[in-house]
Chains A and B, each alone.
Chain A
Amino acid sequence: MTVAPPAPPTDEGLAPAPVVAAPAGPSRGRNLLIGAGRWVVAYGAALVIFGALAWMKGADPIALYRDMWASTFSNSTSLGEVGLKATPFLLAALAVAVPARAGLVNIGGEGQLVIGTVAAAGAGLALDGQLQGWAVMLVMGVAAAIGGGLWAGIAGVLRLKTGINEAISTLLLNYVATDVLLYLIYDPWKDAAGFGQPASRPLLDSSRLPRIEGFGRLHLGFVVAIGLAVGVWAILRYTSWGFRLRVAGGNAEAARRAGLPVGWLVLSSILVGGALAGLGGMLHFAGVEGQLRSGITFTFGYVGFLASWLARHDPLKIIGASILLGAIAVAGDSLQIDAGLPAATVKILMALVLLAVLANSRRTKGAAS
């Protein structure tokens, strides 16, 4: 037999523009350069648009960016603040990345974080006078992971049993989770000594995560979060579970036909994701807040979603993306003080950065056209 001639792509369909790129000449180095250039332009565009919007509100964009820089990366205390914000973002992002391997879109990091926080607070406040500090923290972590995992599991089960898309169900569950939190702090867990404020009593200092020397308020949770990211990366990359998740996420039907337990894989991915988000809630609670109050995790879960997409669901890149978004969040506080803009303003910058990345990541063949 002779080797058959390479077949041309036979049927590309008629979808929008059948432009088939023919990168005939340019070297690898030049392609890399063009690629890098596109990213610079994309991020630059995000910064310029945000600057222009701030300018419309009467702020000086140059001064604004200078302040933002100064408030984030100029000294170790502000660096600590960045790490502080990045910690829950990082875990919320992992909560998106792991299910994404199995083809799920988890927009419920917010709710899973809230429930994780609630579970951690429940365990912590029940035990903090009775056990050693480290033991309380351990129990809080376990409780948070279970709480977040189960909350996410609701969406997983709904998807497997009734076919409801998890993007929709996790979104709706976010609002329910917030109501659960509000119920607890307005009623059963309300601190009697709290001057009528809707909040729980504070966690004892002995049960709080220790701080990292020299970085202001930064706590041990940041190190834990980075360790978890590396661990998740290794598990997804080297274990057969990670490989099977990729198969199920890439083509569930192919996975089923190959005899993989697709339902279990899908469920396990979102359980693990939810557990990670729950842990994020615990770290934030035991590291920073120490007290359950309304708005305790406001939009952390959504920021985590942005971070994961920013990093294209790669756990190692998520570390960087979370720190970037953490810095933007910290800068938001300085905007409020220096430029008189609402702190939520930085959500614009976060969204623009993600849009720039999404616009630049063309999907490959095989994905929906």
Chain B
Amino acid sequence: MTELAPMLDLTAESATGSTTPFIEVRGLTKRFGEVLANDQVAFDVRAGEVHALLGENGAGKSTLMKLLYGVYHADEGDVLVEGEPVEITSPAVARALGIGMVFQDLRLVPAFTVAENISMALDGQGFVYRRGAVERHIRDSAEQMGFAVDPGALVRHLAIGERQRVEILKVLMAGARMVILDEPTSVLAPQEVDALFGAVDELRSQGLAIVIITHKLHEARAIADRVSVLRGGRIVARGIDPTTMDDRTLIGHMVGREVPALPAERPAPPEAPVPALAVRNITVSGDGGHVALRDVDLAIASGELVGIAGVSGNGQRELFEAVLGLRPLSSGSITIDDTPVRKADPRIALAVGGVGIPEDPLAHSVVPGLSVLEHMVLSDMGAVRKGLGIDWNRARSLLGDLDERTQLRIAAPHREVASLSGGNVQRVILTRTLGDDGSRLVVAAYPSRGLDIATTRRTQELLLARRAAGAGVLLISEDLDELLELSDRIAVLHAGELAGIVRPGEVDRYEIGRLMLGGAE
């Protein structure tokens, strides 16, 4: 328990808050090519406080934190830790200074146990890996922190919330005095967010400095002592008390402009529903052979938008893939627009107008080396085929049409998609999928991931436009606000089963959260 001792010593001091911040940065600047990711950023975090860093996707939050953790190196600017100027040249240096980071895509090896993962992060345990001793040590530390963790469990088998706790424990056991949490709540159910914040609160009271990156205002209000706002790489609000500012002003800082409201007038779902998608009692295996979906029964009428809520990893991916003919069914049946999807063949779904926005566009939709234009004709080659060749002029004019319809401002036709930023890649996918006038069923997995607020709005409008045009829309999202705002009905997945189907006007977030966690209180 030697690792935790210095941290606990700070407890007395934390209540008052020391005058010297634990970390302070001045004039920090970082360029990627011609993009200014961080521009003269000034920022500080005190021991015993939670400092929320707000900003849109692409505002430079993660870049700033990676500068502090030594992943990137600043082009200009100073960093001071406890008043001393330091040069954070690598994560090892950051760790030695007591800075720990919990990455959004957790840095854990799924094939290793919890103990093996934590052991990799700790120094000085001798040559032989003594499993028993390491696991005992971890169990003791976890208990002291109030975390429930089984050191012998394979990380692969842990739920996302548990993995996050392992990650935090690991950072603490390595002697961190400042913890950076990069978008920790994005994959958690509301109750899990509460549990996480409880733990964060505990750490604050033990005197740790904590930075939490988020773009959700209510979370920042719930946990942070101070907030700073980044926009376009610049700090636009620094270290303010969140209680002194209303949501409108904060959003104004984040976005720098008014965000259009979604159309309030929406056509009501049809009275005598014609099913666009009928999922009948399907059971589906996951990649590891386990049952990922069990006896799921769900219908979407044409002109209806159904949201899927759930903690990620509870069968959403398998549902997406089963519906679009990408994954075989163990039992049950799927019908799109009255056409049965008889076997796992994406061409069947495509032929009847079933299209998808995948959860991981880079892995599932982007072909390295191909341009924006070439990506547009991937799935609909029939329209542009000319003999044995391809009519690229026709493809170009089709792209123009799509661009005009969707107004998502995609990159130039000749740009290589794989070299675009995440948000711009997503725009390409969205343009191709949502611009398709003939689609009868749109299955969208996390469509607004990586997008700025304005483009997110545009995407939501396009989904509603497909709904208004009579297509069925299945929206998988981890953002409850988005689901509540857009859905006619919300189906909640837990452990591969439908935990319930609710109507947005009739329930609150916590009720959905309860279903997401399997109905437990």
Question: What is the interface of chain A, defined by CB distance below 8 A to chain B?
Answer: 1-11, 14, 18, 20-24, 238-241, 243-244, 246-247, 250-251, 253-260, 364-367
B62 within 8 A of A: yes
B-side contacts of A6, CB under 8 Å: 35, 58, 421
A10-B57, A23-B33, A240-B381 as given contacts; A256 in contact with B346, CB under 8 Å: yes
Q: Which of B60, B454, B458 contacts A8 (CB 8 A)?
A: B60
A10-B57, A22-B31, A367-B368 as given contacts; A240 in contact with B388, CB under 8 Å: yes
A22-B33, A365-B418 as given contacts; A3 in contact with B370, CB under 8 Å: no
A247-B370, A254-B378 as given contacts; A3 in contact with B409, CB under 8 Å: yes
B239 within 8 A of A: no
In the complex, what's the smallest C-beta–C-beta distance from B368 to chain A, in angstroms? 3
B197 within 8 A of A: no
Of B91, B107, B366, B378, most buried by chain A (CB within 10 Å of CB) is B378
CA distance A7 to B35 in the complex (A): 8
B367 within 8 A of A: yes
B-side contacts of A244, CB under 8 Å: 381
A247 and B356: CB pair below 8 A?
Answer: no
A246 and B33: CB pair below 8 A?
Answer: no
Question: What is the interface of chain B, defined by CB distance below 8 A to chain A?
Answer: 31-35, 37, 57-58, 60, 62-63, 71-72, 91, 104-105, 107, 232-233, 257, 260, 324, 326, 346-347, 350, 356, 358, 362-370, 374, 378-379, 381, 385, 388-390, 407, 409, 418-419, 421-424, 450, 452, 454-455, 458
B-side contacts of A4, CB under 8 Å: 58, 409, 423, 452, 454-455
A-side contacts of B91, CB under 8 Å: 14
In the complex, what's the smallest C-beta–C-beta distance from A87 to chain B, in angstroms? 28
A1-B454, A247-B378, A365-B418 as given contacts; A239 in contact with B423, CB under 8 Å: no
CA distance A253 to B368 in the complex (A): 12
B-side contacts of A364, CB under 8 Å: 368-369, 418-419
B-side contacts of A8, CB under 8 Å: 32, 35, 37, 58, 60, 63, 233, 421
A-side contacts of B326, CB under 8 Å: 256-257
CA distance A250 to B418 in the complex (A): 10
* Residue contacts A-B, CB under 8 angstroms, 5 given: A4-B452, A254-B364, A254-B378, A259-B347, A364-B368
CA distance A256 to B379 in the complex (A): 9
A-side contacts of B362, CB under 8 Å: 366
A14-B71, A243-B374 as given contacts; A257 in contact with B346, CB under 8 Å: yes
CB-CB nearest in chain A for B31: A22
CA distance A362 to B104 in the complex (A): 28
B455 and A9: CB pair below 8 A?
Answer: no
B424 and A7: CB pair below 8 A?
Answer: yes
B-side contacts of A18, CB under 8 Å: 71-72
A-side contacts of B58, CB under 8 Å: 4-8, 10
A-side contacts of B369, CB under 8 Å: 246, 250, 364, 366
Of A8, A14, A240, most buried by chain B (CB within 10 Å of CB) is A8
A2-B257, A10-B57, A259-B347 as given contacts; A246 in contact with B367, CB under 8 Å: yes
A-side contacts of B379, CB under 8 Å: 257-260
B356 and A257: CB pair below 8 A?
Answer: yes
In the complex, what's the smallest C-beta–C-beta distance from A13 to chain B, in angstroms? 9
CA distance A239 to B365 in the complex (A): 22
In the complex, what's the smallest C-beta–C-beta distance from B62 to chain A, in angstroms? 6
